[in-house]
Structure 1
Amino acid sequence: MTDGNSQATIEQLAAWTAPHNLEAEMALLGAILTYNAALDRVSHFLKPEHFSEGIHGRIYEVLSEMISRGHVANPVTILPYLQDEPAFEDLGGAAAYLGKLAVMAAPLVDVEGYAREIYELARRRALIEIGSDLVVEARSPDIDRSVNQIIEETERALYEVAEETRFGQGFSAFHEAMREAIDMAAAAYQRDGGLSGLSTGLRDLDEKMGGMQPSDLIILAARPAMGKTALATSIAYHVARNYRPEQMADGSVRAADGGVVAFFSLEMSAEQLATRIISAETGIPSSDIRRGKITEQQFGDLVDVAQKINSIPLYIDDTGGLTIAQVAARARRIKRQHGLGLIVIDYLQLLSGSTRRALEGRVQELTEITTGLKALAKELNVPILALSQLSRQVESRDDKRPQLADLRESGSIEQDADVVLFLFREEYYLSRKEPKPGTPEHAEWQQQMEEVHNIAEIIIAKQRHGPTGTVLVNFDPQFTRFTNLAHEDRLPERMD
């Protein structure tokens, strides 16, 4: 039962009309009919569906098609394409209405302002539609749809409205793609290191990959204890530390270097990740930091480093058991609030898909996850670095270097990934084969250990945009720190 106030509110809602401005729509269409060049000022953001009146959207569509083909568009030339539209019957006929629009033409200088008004009102109508759908969903419980699913779908719809100018616009003209390619090359030319993508902080890896490219799904896979979380943390920290925002002419902000990082840690806590970063920066073993076995000087170093890195844009979400839909919703939210340059997920097998896919089997569920991550990378136009476990079959081979077939449920991972990296440390396996001390075999083993001491291999097993191969880096297990490996040709000259 509803009281009087509630009933009045319902009646008021029923009487509301969606926000619109027919006069602005008519004035804009009239301006384009009169000055065809006016279309160039608005066509990059205004679409036919943004008009509140269907016939206005149809007129705009015909105008756009004719002008793009180099034809003159005026009330006379577009009439044959519109005269059979039923909507004109109540408007006095197509010819009369087009003539009326021409008379109402806005001044050329005001065209963009009218278009912005139409565009903003269209977005408001979209928000009302989302809100109405949310009310209906919330008031009509469905056993197959949880509250979390409703929230995630609403967030996705809101994000699409917020990012409408960037995504979901269908085909791009070749000249637009060409301009983006030139912009990417210019950004690489201006960026330190000349990379087209985000730097990993590892020189030789960057040279092979050109950095981490926007919209790429990058898989970093290894057996346990190889250091994949440490490598991912190092890369994430490097990207966030080097973030340099740049104000554009239109008021937007883009990253001139580095980027905002969203780190989804499904295995380790945020405190553990922070401890690793501090350990790598201070040179104090993380085990000593956790146990408090530090000197007064080291504690001062910890405080200094903590203050230095406190403001870097690295956001850690250590919620366990996230679904791919939740990851997408949270990534969209952080991009909307702070911007976004890189997503890191540690690790892939700890994500879950939809309940339906889970019931079909783990392979189908993982396919949904990897496909969803690739789609998210394209939607947000950022690289996604996702860690993955390898199957135990690696351990049964003499040469334990990973191969693509070693990826767990490798079909979907290998197919959806743009880049597959394997992390391998020969030292880890060799240290478990120590012969009896004092024997010739032990002397040979020691020599082999010296050759691979603190050396890690990053194997590029797949790369859509570049070569495959192996990169050697330095790994310090005491501080779980990856650094560039010194090359003889890059060492400073010796003084005799």
Structure 2
Amino acid sequence: MNEIATINATGTEAADTDPMPHSIEAEQQLLGAILTNNDIFDRVNAILKPAHFYDPVHARIYEVAAARIAKNNLASPVTLKAFLEDDEGLRELGGAAYLARLAGAAISSFAARDYAQMIHDMAVRRELIGLGNDIASKAKKVEVTSEPREQIVEAEQALYKLSEQGQTERGFVSFLKAVTEAVNSANAAYQRDGGLAGISTGLVDLDKKLGGLHPSDLLILAGRPSMGKTSLATNIAFNVAKAYRKGEKPDGSIGAIEGGVVGFYSLEMSAEQLAARILSEASEVPSEQIRRGDMTEQEFRRFVEAAKALEACPLYIDDTPALPIAQLAARARRLKRTHGLDLLIVDYLQLCRGTAQNRVQEIGEISMGLKAIAKELNIPVVALSQLSRTVESRDDKRPQLSDLRESGSIEQDADVVMFVFREEYYVEREKPSDDRLEEMAAWQERMERLHGKAEVVVGKQRHGPIGTIELSFEGRFTRFGNLVKPWQQDGDAEF
């Protein structure tokens, strides 16, 4: 066995000074195990590919064996001999005799996965070395077409792709396993008093309708300008970050057991403006007073106290304008690696950039990219979206799925589509002149009924019911809250 272990593809002894990480012996023993027991291949196939082998002859042996086994044919030294007779590298190692020696050096089947992981890890180390060399050589070339920022994004994408390799693909799962996962999810909701399996938004009625914000879901929050899309998104972000509590999850991993770490892409407003909105809600100081600095001493004290309380909130804001979807994904991955990430909010979808020339195709690329981020990072992604002007031309201003602007792919890719609607906004602009007393009385009565109320219309939900949720809205503080129903007493609703 020692004799085999020191021979490489050229038939010469492997140099101890070779800087590239590898283990010829592990490759030989694993190949021998597969050639003596083809069932081992199924255990290692998910993490091991021919390219992971350092020795090119071993890579070709593994490739031929894999092709035979995939067709339900026997892969043994005898059957492989016919396919590899003309292989120059194998001939230098001894031809068919080398295949027989591999089978003789086979490891026991229980250790096969450990050897496969070892071979894979060595290959990743070699790729890291190659990637580092590529980054260095590209950085040395000063070219107009190659911006440093673009090189950083490319390097991050390559690194993340490399980090994801070797993770076992799910493939088929037994019904028993699927049922177990469904029961665990239902148990998590039951433990929270029958409320949620996902992250709480902090808005009771919205949580009841959605069951919380679920991992891998893309949620679209749409509305016309001035409806309060950004306000609702910041409220949810603040509620989730404020409730963050770290601990041991049911699966034994460490992470958020309440609330979560929030990433907020503010493509329209600056980070400072967004922070002012959140502080307005937390301190109950009107946002226009904060902008002007027109505060009483008591209000300013509340403002400063709220700012101190919010310092520890895990809410991260990126206000880079016109961010390409590839960079958005790269930055989300980086945030998850460095600080963790449980919820991502994008304000708003139409301000992202894609690569397609056609605007409809570009929006489709962005919505697909956001869904891919949700699945890849296993987090809910809430993306805000503008609605087309057709809403304004209708008598009933309530938005519909067909009003989603510029692409039907938004509706297709989303797991949940919600619309923010404040009828008060439209009725306020229908104010009659003061001399029309009857109309004025009817208008005032209608305004009183609608004042401080907002609706979130769930137009699509892949895993639940659609319908309308009523919320309270305080425009002065840009704050949405739980609406007290007429039959509820003061203590029953949370604010």
**Aligned equivalent of 2:165:** 164
**Aligned equivalent of 1:335:** 336
1:425 deviates by 0.3
**Counterparts in 2 of 1:221-232, with a 5 A limit?**
221-232=222-233
CA distance in 1, matches of 2:386, 2:125: 45
**What's the secondary structure of 2:199's corresponding residue?**
coil
Residues 222 and 419, structure 2, Cα contact 8 Å, conserved in 1:
yes
Match of 1:363 among 360, 364, 379: 360
Amino acid paired to 2:362: E
**Aligned equivalent of 2:437:** 439
CA distance in 2, matches of 1:248, 1:21: 37
1:136 deviates by 5.0
**Counterparts in 2 of 1:259-338, with a 5 A limit?**
259-338=260-339
**Counterparts in 2 of 1:185-204, with a 5 A limit?**
185-191=186-192, 194-204=195-205
1:257 paired to 2:254: no
Residues 191 and 256, structure 1, Cα contact 8 Å, conserved in 2:
no
1:422 paired to 2:423: no
**Counterparts in 2 of 1:89-238, with a 5 A limit?**
89-94=91-96, 96-100=98-102, 102-103=104-105, 105=107, 114-138=115-139, 146-166=147-167, 172-175=171-174, 180-191=181-192, 194-238=195-239
**Aligned equivalent of 1:4:** none
Q: Deviations over 1:44-75 (max 9, x none)?
A: 75555433335545666788899999x9x9xx
Amino acid paired to 1:460: V
CA distance in 2, matches of 1:241, 1:193: 22
**Aligned equivalent of 1:377:** 374
**Aligned equivalent of 1:24:** 26
Distance 1:293 1:399, change over 3 A: same
Please list every run of 5 or more consecutive structure 2 residues that lacks an aligned counterpart in the other structure: 1-16
Amino acid paired to 2:466: T
Distance 1:112 1:79, change over 3 A: closer
Deviates more, 1:118-127 or 1:23-32: 23-32
1:239 paired to 2:240: yes
Distance 1:462 1:142, change over 3 A: farther
Deviates more, 1:238-247 or 1:450-459: 238-247
Distance 1:193 1:483, change over 3 A: farther
Residues 241 and 313, structure 2, Cα contact 8 Å, conserved in 1:
yes
CA distance in 2, matches of 1:181, 1:89: 54
1:16 deviates by 5.7
**What's the secondary structure of 1:174's corresponding residue?**
coil
Amino acid paired to 2:455: E
Distance 1:460 1:116, change over 3 A: same
Deviates more, 1:485-494 or 1:427-436: 485-494
**Aligned equivalent of 2:5:** none
Q: How many residues align?
A: 469
Amino acid paired to 1:465: H
Moved over 6 A (4+): 31-44, 58-69, 248-251
**Aligned equivalent of 1:479:** 477
**What's the secondary structure of 2:477's corresponding residue?**
coil
Residues 62 and 78, structure 1, Cα contact 8 Å, conserved in 2:
no
**What's the secondary structure of 2:371's corresponding residue?**
helix
C-alpha root-mean-square deviation of aligned residues, in Å? 3.6
Residues 454 and 473, structure 2, Cα contact 8 Å, conserved in 1:
yes
**Aligned equivalent of 2:400:** 403
Please list every run of 5 or more consecutive structure 1 residues that lacks an aligned counterpart in the other structure: 1-14
**Aligned equivalent of 2:14:** none
1:316 deviates by 0.2
Q: Deviations over 1:215-250 (max 9, x none)?
A: 222211111111110000111122222233334699
CA distance in 1, matches of 2:280, 2:330: 32
**What's the secondary structure of 1:443's corresponding residue?**
helix
**What's the secondary structure of 2:285's corresponding residue?**
coil
Normalized against structure 2, the TM-score is what?
Answer: 0.82
**What's the secondary structure of 1:410's corresponding residue?**
coil
Amino acid paired to 1:485: L
**Aligned equivalent of 1:9:** none
- Percent of residue pairs bearing the same amino acid type: 52
**Aligned equivalent of 1:394:** 391
1:345 paired to 2:346: yes
Distance 1:256 1:474, change over 3 A: same
Amino acid paired to 1:479: F
1:424 deviates by 0.6
Residues 187 and 256, structure 1, Cα contact 8 Å, conserved in 2:
no
CA distance in 2, matches of 1:300, 1:99: 80
Residues 30 and 106, structure 1, Cα contact 8 Å, conserved in 2:
no
CA distance in 1, matches of 2:290, 2:193: 33
**What's the secondary structure of 1:89's corresponding residue?**
helix
1:461 deviates by 1.5
Q: Deviations over 1:450-481 (max 9, x none)?
A: 22111111111122222222111111111111
Residues 201 and 239, structure 2, Cα contact 8 Å, conserved in 1:
yes
Amino acid paired to 2:427: L
